[in-house]
Structure 1
């Protein structure tokens, strides 16, 4: 889709924002994410309910939809989850294909969760690797 709109000075396109976010992440492939989960990292599924219903899920993953993620993981937030009381919490965020999760993991890092990262390729990569999934 081409547009004739002129971008405001200093604005960045989503591709630039995504690339910058990923420079801060030590992204994990599916096998690394599974190993991290085995070592105590929290896998967080940020996909909408419709995607989870259509594609399945990862056993043991915590479901926190993207629109409330920061509130649920900010240790300073009154709306945080009980598990989210530490800035040292290892969190691996995933979405369906690994785009939104990069932005979400960078947002968690902005909150101070320095170990937050994402699953490269998302749930699709996990499934393609033959790792366990739920219906």
Structure 2
């Protein structure tokens, strides 16, 4: 299987959101999770209220049964909206969360770049992310 086929198959099982739809979901209690790596956040900024969890820690931080979970990872019924830079890695990440039992996980079409282009709120680089759950906290 090629990556394009894997991505198509992953997206077939997701109810992907537009940036405006993701903002509405966040306002309605959905957990927006920014999986971009630090260099991209430092370059482009962050989204107010988004939980920052780099991709390599996502499953540990979002699994409600894990000792290393983020405080926001309260149940398998949590509505998780994953956001990467352009909307590719987030699709694969959302499917991984489905495998953990987070069946409401989805992602944002076009990722952070589409969010910003839509004129949605972005904190300037260096302003920080209130919900950051950075690396180095004992995750295996």
Please confirm whether the aligned pair reaches a TM-score higher than 0.5, indicating the same fold: yes
Q: Distance in 1 between matches of 2:41 and 2:123?
A: 9
Normalised to the residue count of structure 2, the TM-score between the two structures is 0.86
Aligned pair count reads 124
Q: Distance in 1 between matches of 2:105 and 2:43?
A: 26
The one of 28, 45, 48 aligned to 1:39: 28
Are 1:64 and 2:53 an aligned pair? yes
- 1:28-74 deviations in Å (ceiling 9; x for gaps): 00110010011010100000000001111111100000001001111
User: Considering only CA atoms, is the larger Rg found in Structure 1 or Structure 2?
Assistant: 1
Q: Which runs of 5+ in 2 are unaligned?
A: 125-140
Instruction: Tell me the SS of whatever aligns to 1:115.
Output: coil
Q: Distance in 2 between matches of 1:77 and 1:13?
A: 32
- Give, in angstroms, the shift of residue 85 of structure 1: 2.7
Q: Which runs of 5+ in 1 are unaligned?
A: 1-11
Which fold has the larger relative contact order, with Cα–Cα distance below 8 Å and residues 6 or more apart in sequence?
2
The one of 110, 116, 119 aligned to 1:127: 116
Instruction: Tell me the SS of whatever aligns to 2:98.
Output: helix
Q: Which portions of structure 1, spanning 4 or more consecutive aligned residues, are displaced by more than 4 angstroms?
A: none
Q: What RMSD in Å do the two structures reach over aligned CA positions?
A: 0.8
- Give, in angstroms, the shift of residue 76 of structure 1: 2.0
Q: Distance in 1 between matches of 2:112 and 2:54?
A: 14
Are 1:91 and 2:80 an aligned pair? yes
